[in-house]
Amino acid sequence: MTSKTIQPGTEPWEQLCQKCGRCCYEKLDYCGEIFYTETPCPHLNVATRLCRVYPSRTTQQPDCAALTPEVIAMGVLPKGCPYRRFFPDSPLPKTSGDLPIDLRRQLQLDN
């Protein structure tokens, strides 16, 4: 399977998802790098790791980005995500703990 045979938004594309919920946590872009926070999307059921509004997620949660090749290439997905195989050299996101301490305090990430 290659990205040419699996088109984003199709059933085979959706089936690649392992339903781990890791991509449903708020992210920050700082100096061109992606940082995951410990804040889940308000629509993520953290117990089941499933989106409560998946079919309409991008309209109900404007910050939710559909997983397109362009989004994946930005480095928003964690290691082990099956979508990364299409862009194995894309950067890995970091955690908010990797942000400078002053920025973490300013964003109130160290509560």
pLDDT score of 111: 58
State the pLDDT at residue 1: 43
Q: Which residues contact 59 (CB under 8 A, 6 or more apart)?
A: none
pLDDT of residue 4: 56
| Predicted TM-score (pTM) of this structure | 0.80
Enclosing H/E stretch for 95: strand 94-95
Each residue of 62-89: pLDDT tens digit? 889 888 889 899 889 998 999 999 889 9
**DSSP-derived 3-state class of residue 51:** strand
